[in-house]
Amino acid sequence: MKGRRMLPLEGIKILDLSRLAPGPFASMMLGDLGADVLLVEAPPEGKMGAMAILGRGADAEKVAAYNMLARNKRSIVLNLREQEAREVFYKLADEADVVLEGFRPGVVKRLGVDYDTLIKRNPRLVYCSLSGFGQTGPYSNLVGHDINYISVGGALGMIGWPGQPPTIPVNTIADFAGGGLHAAFGILAALMAREKSGKGQYVDIAMSDGVLALLASFVGPVLMGGESPGRGTNLLNGSVPHYNVYECSDGGWISIGSLEPHFFVNLCKTLGCEQFIPRQYDPASRDEMKTFFTAKFKEKPRDEWFKILSETDICAGPIYSLREALDDPHNRARGMVVEVDHPTLGKIPHLGIATKLSETPGSVRTTAPLAGQHTDDVLASIGFDSAAIAGLKERGIVG
């Protein structure tokens, strides 16, 4: 198309065997940047077909249109328990650059689509396994979810208030940051290495590893012999009044992050409590300061406080619901909500792309496919005629 900008990952073919959030998030990011991502979905029967089930039914078209994690992707349904389906997968893998899977260790080996099998056929293949605890180590075969990975990774024990149970965050830390982001990063690094060596490699991503890596700034002091950060006892997790959250008169909340002295001076002058300026980090003043801030912020509604504080050099932000975040003028100006054309539903609002590239920006080109929507096209591209495709469908090999 005339004038169309090149996408940075154009020409990269990815076979995505993953099912739950971390793997699809990783391939979503790669797809947004131009990779050709083919979802290899299971038939809708049984546990392996959980995502395929979501792609069918009366509301399937609308559900798919708003499914962020599967956008910019195509879909084929393969019953990998059958040898004929595995042969189809092998043909696809022979031409692929990346295979991504998110099963428990050992599953892909049993299905016959593991790294050792595929790398013999395609030595340039980058194969990424994304799991809770990784492919090695004493926990590798344990089941788990985000809450368990942030426990083992050390994050959950730091979240919350002193004397209270750990506060469970929404599943962004392990699933999306520790898992999906690290998987996408690892895949890109392996592709870069392949440019130099000509060889693919295995990428082993453990969400628990990723969580621990995200705590890098806290690790050094502990390894030097210091204490582990407790709940609400660290400068950045609630121990000081000037890096904290406060309820406002309308029930909304605002966050304050005035760590540096000059920001704290501005905060105190704006709130009318200059007496605290020389006592910013005085432990004996924390209760008094917290009491003052708590009462002060109850005097005005959240958005009024944000307007006042944002007019001066003060680190502050309104604590938004997700709906509010999507409607915020800054997030809109940054392109974090975009529209994508749907063939029957018109323009569909979608989450924008966080990675901003000046010369080769990513794009949201298509909404999520229905399960198996591209099965016929994909099979035809690797040499199957219409009769052969019909036969595979009749025998339950593809869908």
**Residue numbers annotated as active site:** 145, 175
Tokens, residue 94: 């022979």
- Collapsing DSSP to helix, strand or coil, 45 comes out as coil
214 CA to centre of own chain: 14
Q: What is the DSSP string of 74-106?
A: EEEEB-TTSHHHHHHHHHHHHT-SEEEE-SPTT
Strand positions, DSSP E, 307-387? 316-318, 337-342, 346-351
Query: CA 371 to CA 41: how far, in whole Å?
Result: 7
Query: CA 279 to CA 16: how far, in whole Å?
Result: 55
Residue at token pair 């890098």: 216
Which amino acid, one-letter code, is at 298? K
Cβ neighbour number for residue 338 with a 10 Å cutoff? 15
Residue 166, C-beta contacts closer than 8 angstroms, at least 6 positions apart = 156, 157, 159, 160, 231
3 CA to centre of own chain: 31
- Look at residues 368, 371, 379, 373 and name the one whose alpha carbon lies nearest to residue 32: 368
- Look at residues 368, 379, 341 and name the one whose alpha carbon lies nearest to residue 51: 368
Query: CA 188 to CA 352: how far, in whole Å?
Result: 21
Tokens, residue 278: 């020389």
Helix and strand counts by DSSP (H, E) for the chain: 17, 11
- Look at residues 4, 9, 51, 57 and name the one whose alpha carbon lies nearest to residue 29: 9
Residue at token pair 């052969």: 388
Residues in the chain: 399
Q: Is 238 left (phi over 0), alpha (psi -120 to 50) or beta?
A: left
